[in-house]
Amino acid sequence: MLGGGRYALSEGGWEASPLADTFPVILPAAKGTFHRDPATAELTSAGADSMITRLAEDPAQNAEKWKKLPYMMNYQDPGKAKPGAATLLEMTAGGRRMPLLITQNYGRGRTAVLATGGTWRWQMSMPVEDQSHESFWRQLLRWMVTDSPGQISASVPNQMLFDDGRVRISADVRGKDYSPAPDARVQAQILGPDGIAAQVEMSPDPDTPGIFHADWNAEKPGSYVADITAKRGDEDLGHDALNFQRVDGVAENFHTEQNRQLLDQLSAQTGGRYWRPADLSRLPSEISYSSAGITIRDTKDLWNMPAVFLLILLLRSSEWLLRRKWGIV
């Protein structure tokens, strides 16, 4: 988190620091970006959907609360937001519109730039019962640390193992400064159904420092828990836990490739036969015929049958012709 101020952002030379790549903005390569002039904050469309800038649950009320906040007594030109960043607040200052609060995900964490040091007026110039200033800073700081990974981050490719218990457990291990720890000793303690317990040493990945792997086989169906711990000498680097599950009997529903062995077994048990594409030319002659027929009864109304209708029409016509011949009509 980097805030604006007299010696912050470009005024503090941060655009040339090694941390510049982590910022969600491209800082101006110039001085004179800090101004002791009023600036007003305005919610953006991205900010309307963000928990950071939610001062009220109702979207309309939230936008109205931001409009009523007092102006800030200073602002700083933060530069241009990077392509992957989100601008949650904009400011109007000196006849210009500029980003005010910009956030982004970076690596395993998050970064944010707030281009002002004057949000204190949102507290000092508002009624004492108004919690807008406190809520904003609580939510911003909570967003910064929520879901931040620890020094040990464990994972498996798939948490559901279908008919196959082979699983690769991976762990990203880092020191207290969060730099990779390739010299750590990493173990996975695995607990499973029916009292299954195993302790597996994890091996370092030769191509990626700090990454460790262990291949293991879950022999029985059920749920498994793996607790991964890491040490560097006598120093405990921490631990992480994950779970996975083996489920048998459902592989055919999830695997797109043909299971020849299973199809052969099913055809043998049901009195059928597995046919390869090369044998399909003999399929018509192999199909057995049966004298048993299948009868389908279709009931129709008598008046709705064309033959009956024509017969009735013929009878009426014959009667009329006979009557004319006999001079009755």
% of residues, the chain, pLDDT over 90: 54
Query: Tell me, what's the pLDDT at 288?
Result: 65
pLDDT at 2 over 80: no
Q: What is the mean pLDDT of residues 105-126?
A: 90
- Of 5-19, 131-145, 220-234, which gets the smallest average pLDDT? 5-19
Q: Any idea which residue has 């990203």 for tokens?
A: 172
> pLDDT band at residue 19, thresholds of 50, 70 and 90?
confident
CATH number for 152-247 (one of 2.60.40.1930, 3.40.50.300, 3.40.50.2300, 1.10.340.30): it is 2.60.40.1930
Q: pTM score, two decimals?
A: 0.55
Query: Tell me, what's the pLDDT at 123?
Result: 92
> Is there a contact between 120 and 5 (Cβ–Cβ < 8 Å)?
no
Domain with CATH 2.60.40.1930 in the chain: 152-247
End-to-end alpha carbon distance in the chain: 109
> Is there a contact between 25 and 78 (Cβ–Cβ < 8 Å)?
yes
Mean pLDDT over each residue of the chain, to the nearest integer? 87
Question: Which is higher by pLDDT, 177 or 198?
Answer: 198
pLDDT at 81 over 90: yes
> pLDDT band at residue 253, thresholds of 50, 70 and 90?
low
Where does the chain have alpha helices with state H? 45-48, 59-68, 121-124, 132-145, 251-254, 260-269, 283-286, 306-325
What does the alpha-carbon distance between residue 154 and residue 150 come to, in Å, rounded to a whole number? 10
- CATH number for the region 2-145 comes to 3.40.50.880
* 90 DSSP β-pair partners: 42, 99
- Of 132-136, 148-152, 316-320, which gets the smallest average pLDDT? 148-152
Question: Which is higher by pLDDT, 188 or 291?
Answer: 188
Q: What is the mean pLDDT of residues 144-170?
A: 87
Q: Is 13 helix (H, G, I), strand (E, B) or coil?
A: coil
pLDDT at 148 over 80: no
* 197 DSSP β-pair partners: 191
Query: Tell me, what's the pLDDT at 193?
Result: 92
Query: Tell me, what's the pLDDT at 134?
Result: 94
